Amino acid sequence: MESKTTRHSLENSYSKHMFLDAERFQVGHAALSKSPNQRGFVSLVGAGPGDPDLLTVKALKALQRCDMVVYDRLVSQEILDLIPASAEKIYVGKRCGEPSLKQAEINQILLQFAKQGRQIVRLKGGDPFIFGRGGEEALALAEHNIPYTVVPGITAAIGCAASCAIPLTHREMARSVTLVTGTVVTGQLPAWSAIIAAGQTLVFYMGLESARAIEQGLRSHGVAADFPVAIITQGSTPLQQTHVTQLAALEKTALKLKGISPALIIIGEVITLRDKLITTLDAVAWQASQPLTLDV
């Protein structure tokens, strides 16, 4: 039986942690409102999959309070238009095959301007901590004692799957979801068997260039040739396209879509539900027809 002393100790510990969490939030919130001649601050903000209506209220508030935005290629123009005219914008996007800043250089930009007292939003497509290198940037800031906060965003797997009527989990069909970056499937993964299991859905980010390796890797580990595959390009935007095919045709389909970005590959039995679910879902067309109202 739990003693009164033990319960009192646990309650005090819980209250202390709650106070610390609240204090951190208040410090971060206040830092966003400081003038540029005071201590710098960085918000690592997820912009979501592209649809500006999927931007969180907290992300919008961060954009409205900042005086500098360091942003990626995958941030949509509609979201960039929400940045105050008074805020300086620095583009650090990366596109395959084109010259781009290295991650260390991006880290240096954040450190340099934060030390000058700037209130910075580091704006990333999707979520900062899911294939967004947000962890690397957070480590760099922490190592230099730069205060920062993280504002989560809707990651592409969630946003794109929802907008094209593919549930990533479904009872008796998919019990788990594995998110994989397509840039490591050419040999850096320890074993394909580590990501293949019955009753799960696989989602490959940035996977078009690695479609051949994905197809061959899954086939060689026993996944059937007719296993359902969907490729979603420019998901959650008016330009979204969903290409449903089979594993044996993944490489061929990806070649037809070469150069279209961003692209997401979903592999799993849940894709078979789409034909029924899509009949009354026209989310992208509906969203595109609505006026953007983000007043907060």
Tell me the CATH architecture of domain 157-280. 2-Layer Sandwich (3.30)
Contact in structure between 135 and 129 (CB atoms under 8 Å): yes
Beta bridge partners of 202: 178, 267
Would you name the residues annotated as active-site residues?
72, 94
What are the two backbone dihedrals, phi and then psi, of residue 128, each rounded to the nearest 5 degrees? -60, -30
Scanning the structure block, which residue is given the tokens 């074993």? Answer: 191
Fold of the 31-154 domain: Cobalt-precorrin-4 Transmethylase; domain 1 (3.40.1010)
CA dihedral of residues 159, 211, 179, 279 (deg, nearest 10): 40
Question: Do the domains spanning 31-154 and 157-280 agree at the CATH topology level?
Answer: no
What tens-digit pLDDT sequence spans the chain (296 residues)?
444 444 444 344 434 333 334 344 444 444 444 444 577 999 999 999 999 999 999 999 999 999 999 999 999 999 999 999 999 999 998 765 566 799 999 999 999 999 999 999 999 999 999 999 999 999 999 999 999 999 999 999 999 999 999 999 999 899 999 999 876 655 555 467 677 777 899 999 999 999 999 999 899 888 999 999 999 999 999 999 999 999 999 999 999 999 999 999 999 999 999 999 988 876 545 454 444 444 44
List helix spans (H) across the chain: 4-32, 57-65, 77-80, 103-115, 134-143, 156-163, 211-220, 250-256, 274-277, 283-289
Query: Would you call 59 helix, strand, or coil by DSSP?
Result: helix
Question: What residues does each domain of the chain span?
Answer: 31-154, 157-280
